Structure 1
Amino acid sequence: MGVMEKMRKSTGVILWVLIFSFGILWALADTKVFDAMQAGPNNLGEVNGDPISLEEYNSRISYYIDQYSQQTGNSITPEMRAYYEDQAWEELVSSKLIQQKMDDLGITVTDQEVVEMITGENPDPFIRQQFQREDGTIDRVALQSAIEAPENSQVWVMVEQQLRQKRRQQKMSNYVQSAMEVSSYEVEQAYIKRNTFADVSFVRFPFAEIPDSAVNVTDSDLRSYYNNNEEQYTRQESYRFKYVSFDKTATKEDTARIQKEMQDLRSDFEQTENDSLFLVRYQSATPYSAEFVKKSEINEKYQPVLDLENGEVSQAITQDGQVFSIKKLDERQDEVKFVVFTFDITADPIATVDKKAEEADDFSFFAEEDGFEEEAERREFEVKEAFATKGNPFIAGLGQSRQIMNFLETASEEEISSPIELSNQFVVLKVTEITPEGTRPFEEVRSQIETIVINSKRKEQLVDRVNNLLASNETLEAIASASGREVSTAENLSMNASVIPGAGREPRVVGAIFGLEESETSGPISGDNAVFVAKIDNRTDANLEAMTAATRNQLQQQLQQQKSASFSQVWMEQLKEEADIEDYRATLLRGG
Structure 2
Amino acid sequence: MGIMGFLRERMGTILAIVIGVALLGFIAEEVVRSGSSFFRGDATTVGEVNGEKIAYQDFNARLEQSTQQFKQQSGGQSLTPQINSYIQETTWNQFLTEKLLNKEISRLGLIVGSDERQAMISGNNPDPQIQRQFVDDKGQFDPAKLNQFLTYLQSPKADKAQLDAWTDFVINLQTAKLQQKYMTLVTNGLYVNSLDAQDDYLAKNKLANFKYTVLDYTSIPDANVKLTDNDYSDYYNEHKNEFKNANELRSFEYVSFNAAPSKDDTAAVKTQIEKILPEFKTTANDSLFVQINSETKSQLAYQKKGQLEPKLDSIMFGAEKGFTYGPYLSNGSYKIAKLVDARISPDSVKARSIILNPAAEGGVDKAMAKADSLKKLIAGGKPFAELAKNFSADKASGDKGGDMGTMGRGALPPALEDALFNGKTGDLKIVNGQFGVALIQIQEQKGSSKVVKVAMVDKPLAPSSKTQNAVYSKAQSFLSSLNGDNFDAQAKKAGLAIKNAEDVSGNAATVLGLENAREVVKWAFKSEKGTFSDQVFAVGDQYVVARVSVIKPAGTLPLDAVKKQIEPMVRIAVKGKQLSDKFNAALNGASTIEQVAQKAGSTVVPLQNIVFANPVIPGSSAEYKVVGTVFGSQPNKVSKPIEGQQGVYVISLDSFTNPAPLTNNVREKTQLGQAIAQRSQGQVLDALKDKANVKDNRAKFF
Answer whether contact 2:615 2:624 (CA < 8 A) is retained: yes
Identity among equivalent positions (%) equals 18
Do the aligned partners of 1:318 and 1:324 also contact (CA within 8 Å) in 2? no
Q: 1:330 to 1:234 in 2, by over 3 A?
A: closer
Tell me if the contact between 1:325 and 1:342 (Cα under 8 Å) persists in the aligned partners.
Answer: yes
Superposition pairs of residues 21-36 of structure 1, within 5 angstroms: none
1:231-256 CA distance string (max 9 Å, x none): 56677643334454463679514455
Show the counterpart of 2:424: none
CA-CA distance at 1:572 after TM superposition: 1.9
Which residue of structure 2 lines up, in the alignment, with residue 174 of structure 1?
Answer: 184
Q: Residues of 2 paired with 1:262 and 1:546: CA distance? A: 79
Q: Tell me the alpha carbon deviations over residues 439-483 of structure 1, each in whole angstroms, 9 at most, x when there is no partner.
A: 13399569658625533432441342243243xx3x445555565
Q: Is the 8 A contact 2:227 2:571 kept in 1?
A: no
In structure 2, the residue matched to 1:312 is 323
Unaligned runs of 5+ in 2: 1-41, 345-448
Indicate yes or no: 2:135 matched with 1:150.
no
Measured on the aligned residues, the alpha-carbon RMSD in Å equals 5.0
SS at match of 2:588: helix
The corresponding residue for 1:37 is none
- Letter of the 1:389 counterpart: D
Q: Give the deviation of 1:488 after TM superposition.
A: 1.5
1:457: which partner in 2? 577
SS across alignment from 2:129? helix
Does the 8 Å contact 1:247/1:426 carry over to 2? yes
SS at match of 1:534: strand
Q: 1:254, 1:206 → 2: CA distance?
A: 57
Give the 3 Å change call, closer, same or farther, for CA 338–54 of structure 1 in structure 2.
Answer: same
Per the alignment, do residues 568 and 397 of structure 1 end up closer, same or farther by CA in structure 2, a change over 3 Å counting? same
In structure 1, the residue matched to 2:116 is 113
* Gap change, CA 1:201 and 1:362, over 3 Å in 2: closer
1:55 aligned residue: 57
Q: Which amino acid aligns with 2:503?
A: T
User: Contact 1:187–1:555 at 8 Å: present in 2 too?
Assistant: yes
CA distance in 2, matches of 1:497, 1:287: 53
Correspondence for 1:489: 606
Contact 1:45-1:51 at 8 Å conserved across structures: yes
Paired position in structure 2 for 1:440: 559
Of the candidates 319, 326, 342, which is equivalent to residue 329 of structure 1? 342
1:130-141 equivalent positions in 2, closer than 5 A: 130-134=133-137, 138-141=141-144
CA distance in 2, matches of 1:210, 1:317: 53
SS of structure 2 residue aligned to 1:531 = strand
Shift of 1:405: 2.7
Correspondence for 2:640: 524
Q: Output the amino acid matched with 2:577.
A: K
Distance 2:630 2:249 in 1: 43
Q: 2:212 aligns with which of 202, 206, 215?
A: 202
Aligned to 1:28: none
The TM-score with structure 1 as length reference comes to 0.70
> Matches of 1:477 and 1:490 in 2, distance apart?
14
CA distance in 2, matches of 1:542, 1:247: 71
In structure 1, what is the equivalent of residue 405 of structure 2? none
> Using the alignment, how far apart are the partners of 2:569 and 2:68 within structure 1?
50
Residue 259 to residue 286, structure 1, CA distance change in 2 (3 Å): farther
Q: Residues 31-430 of structure 1 correspond to what in structure 2 (within 5 A)?
A: 42-70=44-72, 71=74, 73-77=76-80, 80-134=83-137, 138-148=141-151, 149-151=154-156, 152=158, 153-178=163-188, 180=190, 185-206=195-216, 237-245=249-257, 247=259, 251-252=265-266, 253-254=268-269, 256-257=271-272, 264-268=279-283, 288-291=301-304, 299=310, 302-305=313-316, 308-321=319-332, 323-325=335-337, 327=339, 329=342, 338-343=452-457, 346=460, 384-391=498-505, 393=508, 395-398=511-514, 401-412=517-528, 414=531, 416=533, 422=539, 424-425=540-541, 427-430=543-546
Matched AA of 1:150: S
* Letter matched to residue 337 of structure 2: S
Q: Distance in 2 between matches of 1:415 and 1:214?
A: 38
Structure 1 residues 228, 116: CA separation in 2 closer, same or farther (over 3 Å shift)? Answer: closer
> Structure 1 pair 405/194, CA: closer, same or farther in 2 (3 Å)?
farther
When normalised by structure 2's length, the TM-score is 0.60
In structure 1, give the amino acid aligned to 2:523: F
Figure out how many residues of one structure are paired with residues of the other and give that number.
525
Kindly indicate whether the alpha-carbon contact (under 8 Å) linking 1:109 and 1:167 is maintained by their aligned counterparts in 2.
Answer: yes
Q: Which amino acid aligns with 2:203?
A: K
SS, match of residue 457 in structure 1? helix
Deviates most, 438-447 or 49-58: 438-447
Q: Distance in 2 between matches of 1:434 and 1:203?
A: 43
Tell me the SS of whatever aligns to 1:171. Answer: helix
Which residue in 1 is equivalent to 2:657?
A: 539
| Matches of 2:542 and 2:226, distance apart in 1 | 52
Measured after TM superposition, the shift of residue 128 of structure 1 is 0.7
Q: Distance in 2 between matches of 1:447 and 1:492?
A: 36
What residue identity is the alignment partner of 1:265? F
CA, structure 1 residues 140+90, in 2 after alignment: closer, same or farther (shift >3 Å)?
closer
Deviations 1:524-571 (A, max 9, x none): 35131122222335625365458894x875554344334543443233
Q: Secondary structure at the match of 2:460?
A: coil
Could you tell me which amino acid in structure 1 is paired with residue 280 of structure 2? L
Query: What SS does the aligned partner of 1:204 have?
Result: strand
Q: Structure 1 residues 556 and 257 mapped into 2: Cα distance closer, same or farther (>3 Å)? A: farther
> Quick one: distance in 1 between partners of 2:60 and 2:228?
58
C-alpha deviation, 1:116, in angstroms: 0.7
